[in-house]
Structure 1
Amino acid sequence: MSNESSSKPVAHSANDQIVFWGCFVALIATSFAFISRMYLCDVRFGADFGIDKVTIGALKGAGVWPFAISIILFSLIIDRIGYRVAMFFSFACYVVYLIMACMAYGAIQVPDGADPAALAAAQAKGYSLLYWGSIILGLGNGTVEAFINPVVATMFSNEKTKWLNILHAAWPGGLVIGGIITILMGSIAKEGDWRIVLGIIAIPAIAYLLMLATAQFPKSERESAGVSYREMLGEFGAFGALVGFGLIFMQLGEVIPQVADFKWAFIAVCTLIVTVIFGVYTQSLGRGIMAFLIIIMMPLAVTEIGTDGWISGLMEEPMKAAGQDAGWVLVYTSAIMMVLRFFAGPIVHKTSPIGLLTISAVLAIAGLFALSRCGNAGLGAIFVAATLYGFGKTFFWPTMLGVTAEQCPKGGALTL
């Protein structure tokens, strides 16, 4: 395993460059899916499917929480099935999602003046299709993360934090491009055929499929170093299993109606079983640094993805008062992230990862607090607050991945 701080950059083959940019485009596909769906949740789905804001929140979450399931489960097996299989699975998820979304649109096309009961039934059917399609989308997005992070960490093992930051410029880059496209298609999103808006995901999805279908993926760093599967699981350990699978079973307990009457027993028993299996098999509680990273990653992820999912809706009234689309706030903060992540190298080398995370946390807190006070503020105040938030959230995700890759190299795809 290489020491990032003391290693010199090395040349990479044309195949490595294709794989890197294919992974970059794959991450753009996840952000296209994220912003188009969130925008429609805010401006259209409530009326089309006859759902309230609580149900809209559940629909938004359906595209996010499965991410955790697929990224953990695929990370357990990705070294055995290969990165290419994971890539094809993610593409298949996007195809199924678009098909189900189109079916949902078709289900709610009832004639004007239709019986209210028939309309309600059509809306319920359409919502169910869109909800389960969103879950499949979330699985696809998580699978993308499950293969791109270990691929890039392996190819650029001498400069992991730098290149993971550049890779993750694709997320805000996709939010900027996808956000602009979505906002420019605002009239279609609000009044027309919203399948066209959701369909923008097909552009990057097909692109990364073509780029990666025949490319040669690297052998994982864990395998190259001769680290066993048991050792990899040992880095995660019983504590990692307790937290990771505990959160998964908590979410499943919320969405599986059959366990509603004994939800907490279901969560406790399932989590205990998996934790014990991990502990017995690995004979490890997990590395201390890994436990620390797991704990702090949760609020960091919520700060970025959770806020991004709701920021357009939260800023809708003040932005409307200023005569602007609320989606521009997310586009603006994402543009800041994209630029800073592309030029992460000098920043990463001038400060420690922990120092960078601390500075980011302070700026993010200040930005979120300022945004919460923008209810009656003007356009300038909104974007000043958004600037603080944009700077603050920029380095959370990729820096955490870089630290994990450096500190827990034996953990491979699982710890990432």
Structure 2
Amino acid sequence: MQALNRNQLFIASCLALLVTSLSFGIRAGILSRLGIEFNLDKAELSSITASAFWGFPLAVIIGGMIVDVIGMKRLLILAFVFHMAGILLTYAADKFSSPYWALFISTLLIGIANGTVEAACNPLVTALYPDNKTTKLNHFHLWFPGGIVIGTLIVYFFNQAAISWQMQVAMMLIPALLYGVLFAKQKFPVTERVASGISTSEMYRSLANPLFIFMIICMFGTAITELFTGQWIDVLLRNVSGNAILILTVSTGVMALGRAFAGPIVHKLAPHGVLLMSAILSAFGLYLLGNTSGNMIFFGAIIFGMGVCYFWPTMLGFVSEYLPKTGAVGLNLIGGAGMFAVSLYMMFMGSFYDQLIAKNLPAGADLKLYNSMEATLEMKTALAAANKAAGPEILNATLVIPLALIVAFTGLFFFMKNKKMAVVQ
């Protein structure tokens, strides 16, 4: 019988998450370019981007419900198929009569693939490392910011070399093919919930735990703070900083380093202490991004990266450690809730962003015309000024979310401290 190869499974999981993160980093880098090439306004760009955040919760929630039935291996084969279809359709978007719909559908497919990866890999990591779950989830999830760094650098250097955005998208095929091959050859364990003998009915009853519901609500805020800001940073700050995409590179680079060294921090502060610290730093970093200029923006990016660094994996780790009976469904509902909140917020902010830009343009200006290839130099100058004013306003509007999280996680910190629940690492 084939032996379980824990290291190979973990490496393949990291490669699968790398494809997810490359899709975020490269899409963030080419978003403005797509808007110009296909004459898309901010609302259309936001709906394309948001489709990834619709596909993700759909896949992660359904995947969480069926992972124990069909197994993690079959779920990851489905993720591979969706990734390949989404990447290839994005690559060929300019060949369709409606590039908008080609980009929308392809981004949706990639979002479904990304959610399916999370649906299988989060319970896989906790099953592989039952005595070190929060730390190993941080190590696994370091490939999300790590991949965004790689993706943004691909965009930056490929743009410098005048290499097409299509070739930038095609770079995602390399890790996708690698994880597909690796997973196809491996034997998989059962999920931790199945291994511990917790029944399916008990798992679903555990979802009504008030603490779990509280964490779902908090995940709305942590996901929006991290993912909305990261995905839109190049658009929001392009006219404020000459190298806006490098701001994302800096913040996600800090995130990757932080997650790599998560173990001692999680042991020292416990998950609830880490979450409170993260909310405070996120709020301060977001304030700096929206209210400074020049090199101070990069300082803000460092603080922001330190803040959002532990949000996602530590939210998952908290649920896995303190609410283990919720099983794979609990882990994946947390992730799905976060992505769903981001999709709604992104759609709302896309329209709000257009309104802010229009407010700063001459009365009666056609935003589509100002944003098109036919725009005059005067129009482009006026649009750049309007964008420069609107981007930081969006960041300042978003600042209220991490401020609310500080209050929520302060309450959680004292609640957990009073409960005196020991962290098992």
How far off its partner does 1:157 sit?
0.7
Q: Over residues 44-75 of structure 1, what are the superposed CA-to-partner deviations in whole Å (9 max), with x where a residue is unaligned?
A: 21122221111111111112221111100110
Q: In the alignment, what sits opposite 1:217?
A: 188
1:407 aligns with 2:322: yes
Q: Map of 1:156-175 to 2, 5 A cutoff?
A: 156-175=129-148
Q: Map of 1:334-413 to 2, 5 A cutoff?
A: 334-374=252-292, 377-378=293-294, 380-413=295-328
Q: Map of 1:148-159 to 2, 5 A cutoff?
A: 148-159=121-132
Distance in 2 (CA, whole Å) between partners of 1:287 and 1:301 is 21
Q: In the alignment, what sits opposite 2:157?
A: 184
Q: In the alignment, what sits opposite 1:229?
A: 200
Q: In the alignment, what sits opposite 1:309?
A: 231
Q: Which moved more, 1:191-200 or 1:287-296?
A: 191-200
The secondary structure found in structure 2 opposite 1:68 is helix
Q: In the alignment, what sits opposite 2:24?
A: 34
How far off its partner does 1:192 sit?
5.3
The secondary structure found in structure 2 opposite 1:361 is helix
Equivalent residues of 2:93, 2:99 under 8 A apart = yes
Code of the aligned partner of 1:403: F
Distance in 2 (CA, whole Å) between partners of 1:226 and 1:53 is 49
Equivalent residues of 1:105, 1:195 under 8 A apart = no
Equivalent residues of 1:316, 1:326 under 8 A apart = yes
Distance in 2 (CA, whole Å) between partners of 1:89 and 1:327 is 32
Q: In the alignment, what sits opposite 2:336?
A: none
2:248 to 316, 319, 330: 330
Q: In the alignment, what sits opposite 2:220?
A: 298
How far off its partner does 1:88 sit?
0.8
How far off its partner does 1:394 sit?
0.5
Stretches of structure 2 lacking an aligned partner (at least 5 in a row) = 332-425
Distance in 2 (CA, whole Å) between partners of 1:45 and 1:182 is 13
Distance in 2 (CA, whole Å) between partners of 1:45 and 1:85 is 34
Stretches of structure 1 lacking an aligned partner (at least 5 in a row) = 1-12, 108-121, 237-285
Q: Over residues 235-288 of structure 1, what are the superposed CA-to-partner deviations in whole Å (9 max), with x where a residue is unaligned?
A: 22xxxxxxxxxxxxxxxxxxxxxxxxxxxxxxxxxxxxxxxxxxxxxxxxx112
Q: Map of 1:45-84 to 2, 5 A cutoff?
A: 45-84=34-73
Q: In the alignment, what sits opposite 1:252?
A: none
Q: In the alignment, what sits opposite 1:15?
A: 5
Aligned residues: 329
Q: In the alignment, what sits opposite 2:392?
A: none
Distance in 2 (CA, whole Å) between partners of 1:53 and 1:401 is 32
How far off its partner does 1:306 sit?
1.0
Q: In the alignment, what sits opposite 2:375?
A: none
Code of the aligned partner of 2:23: A
Q: Over residues 321-369 of structure 1, what are the superposed CA-to-partner deviations in whole Å (9 max), with x where a residue is unaligned?
A: xxxx211111111111111101111111111211111111001001101
The secondary structure found in structure 2 opposite 1:130 is helix
1:88 aligns with 2:77: yes
How far off its partner does 1:226 sit?
1.5
TM-score when scaled to structure 2?
A: 0.75
The secondary structure found in structure 1 opposite 2:188 is coil
Regions of 4+ moved over 6 Å? none
Distance in 2 (CA, whole Å) between partners of 1:311 and 1:215 is 38
Distance in 2 (CA, whole Å) between partners of 1:81 and 1:106 is 37
How far off its partner does 1:99 sit?
2.7
RMSD after superposition: 1.4
Distance in 1 (CA, whole Å) between partners of 2:319 and 2:141 is 15
Distance in 1 (CA, whole Å) between partners of 2:181 and 2:92 is 26
1:106 to 95, 98, 119: 95
Q: Over residues 105-162 of structure 1, what are the superposed CA-to-partner deviations in whole Å (9 max), with x where a residue is unaligned?
A: 223xxxxxxxxxxxxxx3xx22111111111111000111111100001111111111
How far off its partner does 1:296 sit?
0.6
Code of the aligned partner of 1:298: F
The secondary structure found in structure 1 opposite 2:5 is helix
How far off its partner does 1:34 sit?
1.2
Distance in 2 (CA, whole Å) between partners of 1:290 and 1:136 is 29
Distance in 2 (CA, whole Å) between partners of 1:369 and 1:174 is 25
Q: In the alignment, what sits opposite 2:334?
A: none
Distance in 1 (CA, whole Å) between partners of 2:4 and 2:62 is 31
Q: In the alignment, what sits opposite 1:271?
A: none
TM-score when scaled to structure 1?
A: 0.77
The secondary structure found in structure 2 opposite 1:185 is helix
Q: In the alignment, what sits opposite 1:138?
A: 111
The secondary structure found in structure 2 opposite 1:46 is helix
Distance in 2 (CA, whole Å) between partners of 1:388 and 1:38 is 20
The secondary structure found in structure 2 opposite 1:351 is helix
